[in-house]
Chains A and B, each alone.
Chain A
Amino acid sequence: MTEPSIWSYQDNFDFRRDIDPDSPFHYPLEEHRGKYSRSKMLTAFHLDGSGRLRPGAKPKDAEAVLFGGHIGCGKSTELRDYAQLLQQTYTVHHMELTKTLDINNLRFSDLLIALVHALMRTFEDAQLSLRPEPVFLNPVLNWFDTRIVKQERFKDIEGEIKAEVKAQGGIPLLASLLATMTAKVRGGASYREELRREVRDGFLQLLGHFNALIAHANALLKHQSRGPLLFIMDGTDKLSKDDANAFFQADVNQLGQIMTNLIVCAPISVLLESGITAQRFTKAQLPMVKIFEADGTPREQDEDALIGLVLKRMPLRCFDERETVRLLVQKSGGHVRDLLRLIRACFSLLDGEQITRTVAEQAVQEVASEYRRLVQQSDWADLVAIDQSQGEEKDRTEARLRLLYDLVLLEYNNYWWCSHPLVRTLRPYQNALQKARADG
């Protein structure tokens, strides 16, 4: 039997693909991120390493964690792993916001709608058969009825709800209303901003009722021997830097007033910036896969882990030798998405049936050039200074936060920075390095 062509593996490197814990491409990297451990997150929810409640501990009902790291470093995959661990003790809603909301134009009101919608889905879950008391549900229903349904300017929302759902009222009506509102916001309806304003301005009237409904839902779940609600919000790390600053400095505090368990994904710059961002939130960070030490010494076993990740998607025979894969791993800096990007670049440069070292080196040049535009002239000397400090230099200037956000600068556990290995291949970096050596 002939072996499959290398081209049959190309789609395996699509980094938009979701990797669930039981996916054939899933490769555990927890042990390879330096001193990173899942225990910080799990302990926040009173769980041990296997996701079981610690002896004598009760499940939390209002814990909030801001989970951040570099874009593409594996947060979404890690969150799916967490979801599997957490659902042994909690009633988990894993909300992948990129699939339901317009992540390029996200506001707090959108998240609030998504949260209420997720809660309604809990009530609709036939396996749970929860029956919320009207004394808790009606105020939330009334709020949406007054604020949205009865408003003339939003009349087409009501028009899109089926008559039989309207007749049913209660949870089906609210669930349908929220789904329609989400679609309108995502679709950029003409009144999108008005709709958001209405939700935002009325939030404080809703807050108390919503918190009461969540507490009631948790009580009902407890009667069925189920754990309290826990919402994982993935996708909020994909906001643009300006939007992220606005969202994580103001909106997230409103989100924090909702008394439920929350894990919210955040870009690394938000976790690193000082100040009072998201004071209710515990911060947990997913670092890069640590493939070298701060002084540049390679960590072979961690490189091997990433080689293993690649080989889960494509057999070794598709490379001329294992060291070619290692080259790509080293140049990725331990950044999973960049490793996938490098291999995709190899495919675009490939003529034959194997990725050779020459192809890999060309791919490195090509991907590195994409970073060129992210670095300003004044940044090069600073990048060299950071690298030469071997992890000692980590003052948080605005420029450095920008470089971290753009992946030009990478952060490793236990908390040191160095420039991306691809950036180090660029000529301006080499020039700055030579100058630093001459001056030094």
Chain B
Amino acid sequence: MVDVRGEHSGAFLRLRQLWTRRCHFSLVLAMVDNPDYRDALMARLDAVQPGARIDLTPADAPAVWLQQGEAQCAQGLRRLHVCLPLDARHGDPWWQQANTLRERLADAMPTLQVVWLSQADVDTAAHQAPDLWNWREAVLDFTAWVIQPERTAGLPDPTKAISVGTEAAALTERLAQIEDFLARQAQLPDPDERPSAHLLLEAARAHRQLGQWEQSTAAAQRAADLFAACGDAAHAAQAKAEETQILRLTGSLDQALTVLTQDVLPVYERLGDVRSKAITLGLIADILQARGQFDEALRIYREEELPVYERLGDACSLLRGRTNMARLLMERGTKQDQSEAAHLLSQAYQAARDMQLPEADQIAALHLARFGRPIARTGDAAG
């Protein structure tokens, strides 16, 4: 069975909890960009508790969702996968219709529904189906596999897939050690605040990975406060940025954007830390992309993020930034975008191969899935 990628382990744990515990109407939106990976995640859930599956084609109206769902529920199933097409984006009218059908969808299917859909569809749903959107239990992201280094800093290597169960046990044990240290510190008249802040930041990441979002937010906030009290503005900003990860995961995109632009970015600007600033701008671009503001997100990639990595000679961040930008272009999807995306992926792939990074395989897989042909290697044309 395909492993859950490291960076998705938290989201998957949360999904598994919902899958096993919900027995009334619950709508979970699961963003995914690879049908094979989606099927693998579904199989993992079905191994825990079996669920039914309905596949909607681009031509199917929202009413088909209702009809097929009703039919499945009539057979007594309590869990449902609803697979929307990943290679075609539903237009505004489709989601407007879905919005008007929401009451019937809920009445006819008093069960957990995991809707597997593209990021583009999530964006449209948020804007065109506001009432349905407000009924969402969670929005889980199973797409973003290659992101800025700081997002994975301190986490288990995302390139080496680890079984969720093993990883969860290790993280839980680590959290217990951290909690023990913090509890002992709390008894001291003059506790060591800065080391504690570092551990709290680590705990925030671990809780996020475990899908424990409230604990993650609380730990990140405590870390940010402690770092600020120690006068460590850079780490305080890092902790604030960690807070926004949960805001993003829970769909509070506006709030995440506010924190990044008002509490994080100005700190790095003041400190003259161009690299951290570029990484933060990348996070902002991600959120803009999720809100469908493709042009602004692209501008940030093009003018503010990638040029910094180029100037710093940070080849690793550059290839990851290029890959992210390619994903955005593929999502926007004009003919010119496709060509530029292919070029960016090719550059990123070459750099990853040169550095012998495992991302090379992932970029090749992304290219193959999107363009239906293997990525060109330097020198292939001559051959």
Contact = CB atoms under 8 A, between A and B. Distances in A.
A197 B315 CA distance: 14
Given A135-B177, A215-B195, A276 B312 contact: yes
B195 A208 contact: no
Interface in A252-280: 253, 259, 275-276, 279-280
At the interface, is chain B mostly helix, strand, loop or mixed? helix
14 contacts: A133-B181, A135-B181, A136-B199, A204-B150, A205-B153, A205-B156, A208-B198, A209-B154, A212-B195, A212-B202, A250-B312, A253-B314, A279-B272, A279-B274
Interface string B188-199: 000010110111
A148 B199 CA distance: 24
B174 to A, nearest CB: 8
Given A219-B192, A249-B313, A279-B275, A204 B177 contact: no
Choose among B154, B308, B311 the residue with the greatest number of A CB atoms under 10 Å from its CB. Answer: B154
A250 B177 CA distance: 35
B312 A253 contact: yes
Given A202-B157, A207-B153, A212 B199 contact: yes
A216 B195 contact: yes
Contacts of A330: none
A134 interface: yes
Interface of B: 149-150, 152-157, 174, 177-178, 180-181, 192, 194-195, 197-199, 201-202, 232, 234-235, 272-275, 308, 311-315, 355-357
A135 B184 CA distance: 12
Nearest to B182: A135
Interface string A136-161: 10110000000000000000000000
Choose among B152, B156, B157, B178 the residue with the greatest number of A CB atoms under 10 Å from its CB. Answer: B157
Contacts of B234: 259
Interface of A: 61-62, 133-136, 138-139, 197, 201-202, 204-205, 207-209, 211-212, 215-216, 218-219, 246, 249-250, 253, 259, 275-276, 279-280
Given A133-B181, A204-B150, A219 B313 contact: no
Contact of B154 (A61, A207, A275, A276): A207
A59 to B, nearest CB: 12
B228 to A, nearest CB: 15
B219 to A, nearest CB: 14
A135 B157 contact: no
Contacts of B202: 208-209, 212
A212 B234 CA distance: 14
Top-4 shortest CB links A-B: A212-B198, A250-B313, A208-B154, A219-B192
Given A133-B181, A202-B157, A204-B152, 5 more contacts: A204-B149, A212-B195, A212-B202, A219-B195, A253-B312
